[in-house]
Amino acid sequence: MSFRFLSSAILFAYISLTFTINGQLIAERQWSGFRGYMSSGVLDKANLPESFDFNKMINVRWKTEIPGLGLSSPVIWGDKLFITTSVSLSDNQGIKTGIYGDGMPVADSSVHDWKVYCIDKNSGRTIWERTAYTGIPKIRRHPKSTHANASIATNGSYAVAFFGSEGLYCYDFDGKLVWKKSFGVLKSVAFDYNAAEWEFASSPIIYNGVVIIQCDVLENSFLAAFDVKSGKELWKTKRDEYPGWCTPNIYKDGDKTRIAVNGFKHRGGYDFETGKEIWWMSGGGDVPIPTPVIGKDLVYFNSAHGPSSPIYAIKTNASGDLTSKQPGVFNEYVKWSVPRGGSYIHTLLLYRDHLYNVNWNGTIICYDAATGKELYNAKLGTAKSFIASPVASDGKLYIIDEQGTVYIIQDGTSFKKLAEIPMNDVCLTAPSITDGMIYFRTQKYLFAVGKK
């Protein structure tokens, strides 16, 4: 046996051991929902290419067109990639880029098809395609929004797609519809101007066989849990909250499992088993969008709309009312906070010892994750607008502007840009990472980048 062959065999065995146990894929290695496992946005040991070029198709493994419009990120389990879209022959206005104050919805009342695609992650071939719902959208969309914003959640057996007012759908991996649910019209609108309809965007999550959905809307907001196999409602908790577009997350308080939710009137923690409220806090940006992120025995929150844009690091053993009674004064469960620095759109990225916040004007602020100390504040490129949340792998951060330029920066205490790579198409969607590949969804296409 040659040394080269032996080395390759050892590497293959290591990879197999790393990503499977007794033939079962390790959940932590799957990009199983919005921003991957636990919405972390991180997958190390992915072995992504050092460079790639979309014009010359260098290290671009495949490119496939996705019909219609969607802002859901690709979700991956094993060799299957899931993505959603909403297709209309009349809604051809696309996504409006740039920073602007007009939030009035797109004037379109045509019939749409809400679709779920299962794609072979290695080839880009469509394995199956399903139309979940056909009809006129019950809520109109923001010019930067679509009618398919929420990412799928999967646990390796089921794929759950949430289309807001058009329903919640659970498919098995062969594309069979297992169950579906309707919650009526979910009014995802501006809290202070009901005519500003912006469409639903909170992604479902799956944990220990349970689907969790957060529905913060104009009327009858709630958090709910369903059995993923049957769709049976396990509990449903009412929320007094403004409309929001946040995806929930899971964290641990000792041996207890909690659900973290962002919000304006009520960010906080709920018991996973019962839906009981554990802690709560009001204030911050009054149009909340970012997802909470978890790490270092803390839950990190950010938001920015109106006069306030805070970041909070909340201890996982928090309980009761954490709302500040005096400006800047918090109880013992708030480990640290910054009054201004949060993002209106982006979910934070906790990577190694650093907490990164990207804002929609392209500024990136790096904090010490344990203390909240600002390490640097820099500007990415010359683009005027950034919407996609950042992700990271093997010491590198991947950030995309609306015009579709990928910025790769080095993790560290000082700003270091490694590359600036144009995709030549509008992009508002967070990338997704799997072993050896990173996927980018633009307005028209899905790209798979990996070493050839």
> 427-444 pLDDT, tens per residue?
999 999 999 999 999 999
| pLDDT of 217 strictly over 70 | yes
CB 266 within 8 A of CB 280: yes
Q: What is the pLDDT of residues 126-166, one digit of tens each?
A: 999 999 999 999 999 999 999 999 999 999 999 999 999 99
Q: Tell me the helix, strand and coil percentages in the chain, rounded to 5.
A: 5, 45, 50
For the whole model, what pTM was predicted? Answer: 0.94
- Predicted confidence (pLDDT) at residue 328 exceeds the cutoff of 90: no
| C-alpha Rg value of the chain to the nearest Å | 21
Angle at 300 between CA 294 and CA 303, to 5 degrees: 135
Give the pLDDT confidence score for residue 417 in this predicted structure.
Answer: 97
- Are residues 21 and 70 located together in one domain of the fold? no
Based on the domain organization, do 110 and 6 belong to the same domain? Answer: no
Task: Look at residue 229 and tell me whether its pLDDT is greater than 60.
Answer: yes
Average pLDDT (395-423) is 97
In the structure, what pLDDT confidence band is assigned to residue 172 with cuts at 50, 70 and 90?
very high
Q: Concatenated DSSP letters for 243-266?
A: ---PPPEEEEETTEEEEEE--SS-
pLDDT at 90 over 90: no
Percent of the chain with pLDDT over 90: 87
Mean pLDDT of 66-78: 97
> Within this chain, do residues 268 and 333 fall inside the same structural domain, yes or no?
yes
Is residue 87 pLDDT above 90, yes or no?
A: yes
In this structure, the answer to whether residues 73 and 208 fall within a common structural domain is yes
Q: Are residues 90 and 6 in the same domain?
A: no
- Decide if 250 contacts 257 (C-beta within 8 A): yes
* 345 & 431 share domain: yes
Q: How far apart are CA 172 and CA 103, in angstroms?
A: 37
**Residue 286: pLDDT over 90:** yes
Segment (H or E) for 418: strand 417-422
Asked if residue 306 has pLDDT above 90, the reply is: no
Give CA–CA dist 248/224, Å, rounded.
Answer: 11
Please count the other Cβ atoms lying within 10 Å of the Cβ belonging to residue 251: 21
Boundaries of domain holding 303: 31-450
Query: How far does the chain reach from its first CA to its final CA, in angstroms?
Result: 26
Specify whether 3 is located in the same domain as 125. Answer: no
The domain total for the chain is 2
Do 68 and 7 sit in the same domain of this protein?
Answer: no
CATH, residue 347: 2.130.10.10
Q: How confident is the model at residue 208 (pLDDT cuts 50, 70, 90)?
A: very high
